[in-house]
Structure 1
Amino acid sequence: MSYEDEGIIQMDAEELRELLVTGAKEPILIDVRELDEYAEAHIPGVPLIPMNTIASLSAELDRSASYVFICRSGKRSQNVALFLKEQGILNVRNFVGGMISWQGDIKSGLEWVVKDVNELKKD
């Protein structure tokens, strides 16, 4: 069940699973871990934008879109959400518990490493 921490909505694994099942265009899910962590195991279909590249791409993100950020434990993704909220992207959420709490499907390899934020737009 969602709750708020530091002004950021925290989503649990069940809520994230429901989003994946519906296949909704938004919120846009983004993994913010490092390449090696993502390659080891990630949620299928979720793109990677490593935390250390978020600042350089933040101006290009759609400010009207909604986002959910995912990391290993929920700490880095919380920091990304806080940073982007400060940059004017207001509809941001954190997957609390991160990948260590995820019990759903996982995939290995570098499935979708974002090079251009336009890749995130779903038709």
Structure 2
Amino acid sequence: MAFEHEGILQYSADELKQLLAEGKVRVIDVRTPEEYADGHIPGVPLRPMQVVESWAHEIRPDDAVVFVCRSGRRSQTVAKWFWDRGFRQVANLYGGMLAWNGEVERGAAP
């Protein structure tokens, strides 16, 4: 069951799979291009944490977005960055890709 950490909603892998199946959230991978190429959730775009300010304009304040990284730490930081700027529908995949038990796609970002 989802819970909050530092005000940010934390979803389990199973909860995120359900939300994706229902089309209720956008998911964004914030890892490095190398990590992303090693395996990512199919259809999830790469937006590296290191350059968040260059892609932040792609997110609207009312967008429901779940951020993903390897372990959940960097994605939590990105979610908090958005939260601190007034975005209230941001969330984190708790445990990151290490906890992801769904389909994985390999290859570089388009």
Per the shorter chain, which TM-score range?
Answer: over 0.9
How big is each residue's C-alpha offset from its partner over 1:16-69, in whole Å with a ceiling of 9 and x where there is no partner? 1112222x1x42100000000000100101111000111232244211211100
TM-score norm. by structure 2 comes to 0.93
Residues 29-38 or 85-94, more deviating: 85-94
The alignment partner of 2:81 has SS state of helix
> Unaligned 5+ residue runs, structure 1?
113-123
> Unaligned 5+ residue runs, structure 2?
none
Percent of residue pairs identical:
45
Question: Partner of 2:14 in structure 1?
Answer: 14
TM-score norm. by structure 1 comes to 0.84
How big is each residue's C-alpha offset from its partner over 1:69-119, in whole Å with a ceiling of 9 and x where there is no partner? 00000000000000011112121000000001111110101244xxxxxxx
Alignment of 1:104-119 (within 5 A): 104-112=102-110
Q: Aligned-residue CA RMSD in angstroms?
A: 1.3
Whether the aligned pair in 2 keeps the contact of 1:30 and 1:70 (CA below 8 Å) is: yes
Cα distance in 2 for partners of 1:45, 1:57 equals 17
The number of residues matched between the two structures is 110
Matched, 1:37 2:18: no
